[in-house]
Amino acid sequence: MLHSDSAAPWWADAAVYQVYIRSFADGDGDGVGDLAGLRARIPYLAELGVDAIWINPWYPSPQADGGYDVADFRDIEPAYGTLAEADLLIAEAHAAGLRVILDIVPNHTSDQHAWFQAALAGDAAARARYLFRPGKGEHGELPPTNWKSVFGGPAWTRLVHPDGTPGEWYLHLFAPAQPDLDWENAEVRAEFEEILRFWFDRGVDGFRVDVAHGLVKDQSFADADGPMGLLRNDHTHPAWDNDGVHEIYRGWRRVADSYDPPRIFVAEAWVSGNERLARYLRPDELHTAFQFDFLGVPFSAAAMAPVVDSARDAVAVAGGTTTWVLSNHDVVRHVTRYARSQPEHYIDSAWDRRRWADEKADLDLGVRRARAATLFVLALPGTVYLYQGEELGLPEVEEIPDEARRDPVFQMSTDGDVGRDGCRIPLPWGGDGAASGFSPAGAHAAPWLPQPAGWERFSVTAQEDDPASVLSLYRAALRLRRTYLRGATDFAWVHRSDDVVAFRVGPVEVWTNTGGSPVPLPAGEVLLASAGGAPDGFLPGAATAWLHRS
Ligand code: NOJ
């Protein structure tokens, strides 16, 4: 049953599990995750103790960017299943007590989308839904602006007419196969509200909004050299965080609020600073926005505590709730991020990947730190998003043959970045199936990204009966979170120093030691600890403990 027993809305303290569907579970043996696989794992997710799932784009797509190139927003990718199966999935998830959040991709479509195809065929109304511009230079041979694509290379591609003559340029902040929509166009705005209704009518509980800060471009289309990184954007660049986006979200909120129960949004908004982020969270806009700092904050008490303050300040401005995340499908998995020396600065994933050759990962240390960081964020008030496989302690897969890599970042990067495939490797479930249980026994195809040898050791079957496993830690933590922390918002720091940080929420006091030596703990029943090995009354290095303080 769906929980709605407290005054706070369900999402305010939910644990949401991110399903990267292509890599989650393969039901039909073609090496690609699908709806059948996901439906079969609903009992696993319910038992894990999460409240909702967020499913990455599952729409028909040529997969130029892992489904973020959507060809049809009202259907299901045939390799994943059918709309009828999606309806069953939503009903089955709800029956198991899980809400369902989808991913909406409003900044761009696939170049195979009917609108873009019509634009290419010369339909003026279709063309007006995208950002076509004449080139600069005597013959229009230069792009309209000097903007760079987030993945690398220019953000404009020039069309070639069927007779071979060059035409106008179109904008794509991401891959050339992802043309940007023109959100000044009323038809674009109306279409997306209809798409929201299409899925809300089917019972979907909310949407994660892809590139929420990018829809509206500064109409000056001026040259700009500002950063175009995937994960750090600057509102001084004319492509990002223009004030015009907020009117769009006010409209979306009206749509979401017209449903009973109201539907919700979580924004992917890479903006600079809390004040800019808080604008997305105003009461008539989006309910939540990912707080992304923990995706790159080094494992250090001195660095982690200010992130908590800053995120809480941001939502306080707007009266919202915080939304924590340690990993997702765009960044190096946190076991591996923590497995190397921790710099003073934010660990940008592209930077992290470039140092792999120079410094070997210590995965035992990475797991130990990951366990500690998990207990730290799971106790913070707010929503928490868990990325599939983190509950198994999966590391990033660093060694992938070049020919097997699928992320457009690998192809387009101009600085040797190998891209994001290493955090998207198909999950090991264990049992008799192929690819450590990702595919059923007798599968007729290998997994779409190769799984390293020996991944059975991370599988669910290898971990579920082991009380010391990462999976057991997640299960215990999510259960205790429901018992002691649900609805608690009374956060207060108890201790802060370079290596040790402690806070209190409800009846729980959380102590994290990011240093190397044991530190004394206050008196109190230890509800859960990420690591043992220290004398009684002490917290070992790289560990977190939850204490019950009445
Ligand atoms: C953000 C998504 O998380 C990422 O995977 C994708 O490549 C870009 N948006 C473009 O849609």
* Domain at 114-171: CATH code: 3.90.400.10
CA of 483 to the centre of ligand 1 (A): 35
User: What CATH class is the domain 490-548?
Assistant: mainly beta
Walk along the chain (550 residues) and give the pLDDT tens digit of each residue: 565 445 789 999 999 999 999 999 999 999 999 999 999 999 999 999 999 999 999 999 999 999 999 999 999 999 999 999 999 999 999 999 999 999 999 999 999 999 999 999 999 999 999 999 999 999 999 999 999 999 999 999 999 988 999 999 999 999 999 999 999 999 999 999 999 999 999 999 999 999 999 999 999 999 987 656 656 666 678 999 999 999 999 999 999 999 999 999 999 999 888 788 999 999 999 999 999 999 999 999 999 999 999 999 988 888 889 999 999 999 999 999 999 999 999 999 999 999 999 999 999 999 999 999 999 999 999 999 999 999 999 999 999 999 999 999 999 998 899 999 999 999 999 999 999 999 999 999 999 999 999 999 999 999 999 999 999 999 999 999 999 999 898 999 999 999 999 999 999 999 999 999 999 999 999 999 999 998 999 999 999 999 998 7
Query: How much is the pLDDT for 6?
Result: 58
pLDDT of residue 8: 85
**d(Cα 64, Cα 61) in Å, to the nearest integer?**
8
Atom of ligand 1 nearest to the CA of 328: 3
Q: Where are the beta strands (DSSP E) in 247-344?
A: 264-267, 288-289, 323-325
Residue of 55, 65, 102, 412 best suited for mutating to test ligand 1, as the one with most atoms within 8 Å of CB = 65
> pTM for the whole thing?
0.97
State the distance from the centre of ligand 1 to the C-alpha of 271, rounded, in angstroms.
15
Nearest Cα residue to 96 out of 159, 165, 16, 2: 2
Instruction: Name the residue with the closest Cα to ligand 1, atom 4.
Output: 330
Q: Are 85 and 39 in contact (CB under 8 A)?
A: yes
pLDDT at 231 (0 to 100): 60
Residues with CB under 6 A from ligand 1: 65, 68, 105, 174, 210-211, 268, 329-330
Output phi, psi for 363, to 5 deg. -70, -25
Spacing, Cα 36 to ligand 1 middle (Å) = 24
Closest atom, ligand 1, to C-alpha of 408 = 7
Q: Where are the domain boundaries for CATH 2.60.40.1180 in the chain?
A: 490-548
Question: Residue 51: its pLDDT value, please?
Answer: 98
Can you tell me which atom of ligand 1 is nearest the CA of 65? Answer: 7
Tokens matching residue 527? 């509800």
- Choose which residue among 55, 210, 331, 349 to substitute to test ligand 1 binding: the one with the highest number of ligand atoms within 8 A of its C-beta: 210
pLDDT of res. 314: 87
- CATH 3.90.400.10 residue ranges for the chain: 114-171
Assess contact for 320 and 311: CB atoms under 8 A. Answer: no
Q: Which CATH class is domain 10-108+186-473?
A: alpha beta
d(C-alpha 161, C-alpha 168), whole Å: 9
Amino acid (one-letter) located at 316? A
* CA of 210 relative to ligand 1 center, distance in Å: 7
| Joined tokens for residue 256 | 């979401």
Q: Any idea which residues carry the catalytic annotation?
A: 210, 268
Q: Which atom of ligand 1 is nearest to the CA of 174?
A: 10
Residue 190 CB-density burial (10 A; 0-12 exposed, 13-18 middle, 19+ buried): exposed
Give residue 151 CA to ligand 1 midpoint distance, Å.
10
Which residues of the chain are in CATH 3.20.20.80 domains?
10-108+186-473
